[in-house]
Structure 1
Amino acid sequence: MSTKASQSTTLKAAVETAYEHAKPLGGGKNADYIPYLASVPSDLLGVAAVTREGEVHQAGDSQYAFAIESISKVPTLALVMEAIGPEKVRAQIGVDPTGLPFDSVMALELHRGKPVSPLVNAGAIATASLVPGANAEARWKAILDMQSRLAGRQIELSDEVNQSEQTTNFHNRAIAWLLYSAGSCYSDPMEAVDIYTRQCSTLVTAVDLATMGATLAAGGVNPTTGERVVSAEVVPHILAEMMMEGLYTGSGTFAYEVGLPGKSGVGGGVLAVSPGRLALSGFSPPLDGDGNSVRGLAALRSASVSLRLDLFGTA
């Protein structure tokens, strides 16, 4: 057997083992503050891996379309970093973990209105306000286009998810006004919240997420389309942000146990990127206390260990 074939067999086995490991696990519950998310079947589980060469392995409900939610913060961050550069993002939004929940108002107040990280809600709203475009629709189309280019297919907005979120996003609206009052929201605050809410309301699959991650693993080139989506100079900064705050208050545990830059969403998706190699994704709706998928995390831990992906390892 060739080395390439052997590696493919190993990756396939790791994905299938990760699925079987995570499938029987209990615990957690669906996010219930967004009505749509509460209605998604809690027994779903999908696992996928996509390599930088475009090889795909998947198991379980990997083709089930679910709400991208906060994982959408990564494509929008990439879009803004491309537009204004990583240093301006660091100056205007920040690069550090908050140490507090993803929707914390206290974290914003403690830093005098600066959001600190683009991967918490305050920072993501500020990031959305920095997306270039002549008007709100132009900015929204730019975000949707970035999600689609990273996934290698046309991603669509779910009207059902968006309606469910737009009618319950009062907390984010309050955060936007606090940002605006501190000079940290760079467009009309309600417009920024509307755009941010829409970006969280698109539907993706576990394979889509893994393809997005594989694009970052390949230095910004989508492995299925061959298109350069993100410049190579920007990718390390995106991955650094993901390592610091990608799984909210669970980011430290994820770094300790998985050892990869990651990003989660309350829709049940979770993504991990092994730079230069591949990306892993998991999807299962029940969440732990940090807002991360219980089974998704278990699957990614299993795959990372079996494939020796931990960036902090010496093997």
Structure 2
Amino acid sequence: MICNDKEAIDYMVEEANTYTKDGRVADYIPALKVADPDTLSVAIYENEKTCITAGNTEETFTLQSISKVLTLALALMDRGEDEVFSRVGMEPTGDPFNSMIKLETHSPSRPLNPMINAGALAVTSMIYGSSVDEKLGRLLAFIHELTGNSSIRYDEKVAKSEYETADLNRSLSYFMKQHGVIEDEVEHLLELYTKQCAIEVNCRDLAKIGYIIANEGKHVESQRPIIPLHIARILKTFMVTCGMYNASGEFAIRVGIPAKSGVSGGIMASVPYGVGIGIYGPALDDKGNSIAGMRLLESLSQRYDLSIF
């Protein structure tokens, strides 16, 4: 049981933290440059309570690409699989998360999967709502329900910073609009997307969401279904095949846990029918994943035999 192994968890965090010197915080989003690269914290849910933590698990950070998992869940509940996957594919890509190459070279010109930026933009455009505020409000309400934390909001400074530097995402959006993948006004879509990426959580929040996805989409305390079982399975599958950017294949071999990272340094992991893990370590590797967080998950997987393979 992980819950009874606090000393080992503390040691693994301390060991993984030595890797932060080899990473760097995201600097292409100005508001993320202020993060302390030496930070590393983890929360692990193994039942209805946080069973173990290490580091400052109350420190908040923005979801960034981890939000792609949540918007996919919401869009699938809103629109159904047929419509969502008529606009977004299901295949991994070896290209960077913000690449346009596959959009230009594949026919039809649709994103390969929901975990790259183009796919996430298309998925976000499918969330029901008549305005940016309504769509964002529905997403936040969904996150509040998952975490039990109604204080979660988005960071206005980070959202503004991302919106003002979103030229590549604008290009992806206009390309997809030209090819009929998205129908929204591009600037409205970018406003929503940058706000969704700027939603602030802590490790405990992430671990609780990861636990729910791991355990058939059921609420941690009440066991009431929040995410339908078949959608929870889809989420875990994409987390395995595409969740760690273009390091997903190596991560599957070394760690073998469904996980999704974000360039703020967050990682959410879901061990099927097991634990939920939330990690924050803002020093990134060259793929955009938390360098110490990756090492910590590898250590956890090996010690507790968490790989699904």
Match of 2:18 in 1: 24
Alignment of 1:299 with 2:293, yes or no, is no
C-alpha distance in 1, partners of 2:30/2:11?
Answer: 33
| Identity, % of aligned positions | 33
C-alpha distance in 2, partners of 1:166/1:226?
Answer: 38
Q: Which moved more, 1:162-171 or 1:264-273?
A: 162-171
TM-score, normalising length from structure 2?
A: 0.94
Letter in 2 for 1:64: E
Residue 247 (structure 2) aligned to one of 250, 269, 277? 250
Uncovered stretches (5+) of structure 2, i.e. residues with no partner: none
Alignment of 1:121 with 2:146, yes or no, is no
C-alpha distance in 2, partners of 1:224/1:266?
Answer: 30
C-alpha distance in 1, partners of 2:40/2:17?
Answer: 7
C-alpha distance in 2, partners of 1:7/1:101?
Answer: 34
Alignment of 1:130 with 2:110, yes or no, is no
Render the CA deviation track for 1:75-107: whole Å, top value 9, x for unaligned: 111001111223332222111112100000112
Residue 34 (structure 2) aligned to one of 21, 33, 39? 39
Query: Once the 2 structures are TM-superposed, how far is the Cα of residue 149 of structure 1 from its aligned partner?
Result: 1.9
C-alpha distance in 2, partners of 1:194/1:251?
Answer: 28
Letter in 2 for 1:102: F
CA contact (8 A) 2:2 2:304 kept: no
Render the CA deviation track for 1:246-266: whole Å, top value 9, x for unaligned: 011010111011101110000
Residue 81 (structure 1) aligned to one of 76, 86, 90? 76
C-alpha distance in 2, partners of 1:301/1:249?
Answer: 17
C-alpha distance in 2, partners of 1:96/1:52?
Answer: 33
C-alpha distance in 1, partners of 2:2/2:130?
Answer: 47
C-alpha distance in 2, partners of 1:71/1:224?
Answer: 23
Alignment of 1:235 with 2:232, yes or no, is yes
Letter in 2 for 1:168: T
CA contact (8 A) 1:72 1:147 kept: no
C-alpha distance in 1, partners of 2:200/2:222?
Answer: 20
Alignment of 1:183 with 2:193, yes or no, is no
SS in structure 1 opposite 2:28?
Answer: coil
C-alpha distance in 2, partners of 1:291/1:235?
Answer: 25
Alignment of 1:139 with 2:135, yes or no, is yes
C-alpha distance in 2, partners of 1:140/1:62?
Answer: 25
Render the CA deviation track for 1:220-250: whole Å, top value 9, x for unaligned: 1121465432111211111111111101101
CA contact (8 A) 1:78 1:230 kept: yes
Render the CA deviation track for 1:130-175: whole Å, top value 9, x for unaligned: 0011222211111122222222212111111111111111111111
Letter in 2 for 1:126: A
C-alpha distance in 2, partners of 1:7/1:290?
Answer: 29
Alignment of 1:192 with 2:189, yes or no, is yes
C-alpha distance in 1, partners of 2:300/2:8?
Answer: 5
Match of 1:173 in 2: 170
SS in structure 1 opposite 2:276?
Answer: strand
C-alpha distance in 2, partners of 1:187/1:272?
Answer: 31
TM-score, normalising length from structure 1?
A: 0.93
Q: Which moved more, 1:146-155 or 1:57-66?
A: 146-155
Query: Once the 2 structures are TM-superposed, how far is the Cα of residue 43 of structure 1 from its aligned partner?
Result: 1.1
SS in structure 2 opposite 1:255?
Answer: helix
C-alpha distance in 2, partners of 1:303/1:142?
Answer: 34
Query: Against the structure 1 CA distance between its residues 182 and 53, is the aligned structure 2 distance closer, same or farther, given a 3 Å change threshold?
Result: same
C-alpha distance in 1, partners of 2:225/2:141?
Answer: 13
Query: Against the structure 1 CA distance between its residues 162 and 307, is the aligned structure 2 distance closer, same or farther, given a 3 Å change threshold?
Result: same
Query: Against the structure 1 CA distance between its residues 107 and 61, is the aligned structure 2 distance closer, same or farther, given a 3 Å change threshold?
Result: farther
Query: Once the 2 structures are TM-superposed, how far is the Cα of residue 299 of structure 1 from its aligned partner?
Result: 0.9
Uncovered stretches (5+) of structure 1, i.e. residues with no partner: 1-5
